[in-house]
Amino acid sequence: MAIEPFFIAQIGRTVGLYGDLKLHLHTDFPEQFKVGHTLKSSRGDLTISDLNPNRGTIRFIGYESVESAKKLTNVKLYANEEETKAYCHLEKDEYFWFDIIGCTVKEKEIILGTVDDIQRMLDLDYLVIKTDQSLVEAGMPKEFLLPYIPRYIVKTDIETKTVLTQDAKDILEAS
């Protein structure tokens, strides 16, 4: 299943005299940004010619003057699933959001629902779970939020597209 490209950064104002631009990351994987790497944008493909992570600046081939770089202010940068998997390294028990979205959420043998989205609030990720229809018919809310922390998440298996939980049903019932 192909997923649409997703937003990973936004370009800000120009900095200096050579077309450098502020880079506002919206990703947990800054390693996606390397000199020579081409990114998708709302203005077409952009190839990185210079990058300064300490200053939070980026420059693109063909936009090496302040005048030309200004055309990129507020442009959004995107990556797709294939590029993300190629450029981003995960540690053990870490997963990409796009691998978790669509997983069935279970507690013991009860299907609570399906991960519809993931929201980050402060430094914590929450699964947005679309409640299983049988539970909605029994009076439960149509969706609920579940913190993605060991207190509630027993195991995530992206091969079987399943998230096993504990005490998540209590959160659903209290929603």
* Interval 105-114: pLDDT, tens: 999 999 999 9
Residue ranges, CATH 2.30.30.240, the chain: 97-174
Quick one: pLDDT at residue 35?
A: 94
Quick one: pLDDT at residue 122?
A: 84
Instruction: Confirm if 20 and 69 have CB atoms less than 8 A apart.
Output: yes
* Residues pairing with 165 in the sheet: 107, 153
What residues of the chain score a pLDDT lower than 70?
1-4
Residue ranges, CATH 2.40.30.60, the chain: 6-87
Report the CATH architecture of 6-87. Answer: Beta Barrel (2.40)
Of 94, 96, 101, 142, the closest CA to residue 118 belongs to 101
* Interval 6-36: pLDDT, tens: 888 999 999 988 899 999 998 888 888 999 9
CATH superfamily, with its number, for domain 97-174:
PRC-barrel domain (2.30.30.240)
Quick one: pLDDT at residue 91?
A: 82
